[in-house]
Amino acid sequence: MLVVEDDPLVRKVTLRSLGAAGYRVIVANNGREALEIAEHEGVAFDLLLTDVIMPGLNGREVAERLRRTRPGLRVLYSGIEVLRKPFSVARLQERVRAALDAAPPGAAEA
C-alpha cells in the first residue's frame, strides 16, 4: 500500500504498525511525492492510505489523480470519519483490512 502522511510521528507509527501486521508499505511524505512514486514503472499498490489535510496536494486530490491511471484503486482517508486521528494500531489495521477486502471502485455488483 502507499501511505501518504505529512506528520513524521504519525507516518512512523503507521509504517511500523502496518509492517508489523505483514503489509508491504511504500511511504510518501506529501501528495507530490506520492504521485512521483506512483509514476515509477513497477510500483504496485492495492490501497492508498492518505491524510486528507496536507500542504500542497490534499489527500482527495492525490486519490483523484491516482485513480485516473489506477481506476480500481482503493482509498482509505485518515483524519476524517473513515479513520479519525488519533487512531489506535488495532483500528488502523481493522480499517486497512476492510478497505482491502472491499470491492474496488467501479467493480460490477454481483
- Residue 76's closest CA among 94, 89, 90, 56? 94
Secondary structure class of 17 (helix, strand, coil): helix
In the chain, the domains with their CATH numbers are: 2-100 (3.40.50.2300)
Least confident of 35-39, 70-74, 92-96, 101-105: 101-105
pLDDT beyond 60 at 7: yes
| Residue 110: pLDDT over 50 | no
Which has the higher per-residue pLDDT, 52 or 105? 52
Look up residue 93 and give its three cell numbers: 489495521
- State whether residue 65 is helix, strand or coil: helix
Q: Cα separation of 43 and 38, whole Å?
A: 6
What pLDDT does residue 78 have?
A: 84
Q: Whole-angstrom Cα distance, residue 12 to residue 17?
A: 9
| 30 closest CA partner among 63, 56, 2 | 56
- Each residue of 25-61: pLDDT tens digit? 999 999 999 999 999 878 899 999 999 999 999 999 9
Residue 79 is predicted with a pLDDT of 64
Q: Has this prediction a pTM greater than 0.85?
A: no
Grid cell in block for residue 34: 506520492
pLDDT of residue 66: 96
Confirm if 107 and 54 have CB atoms less than 8 A apart: no
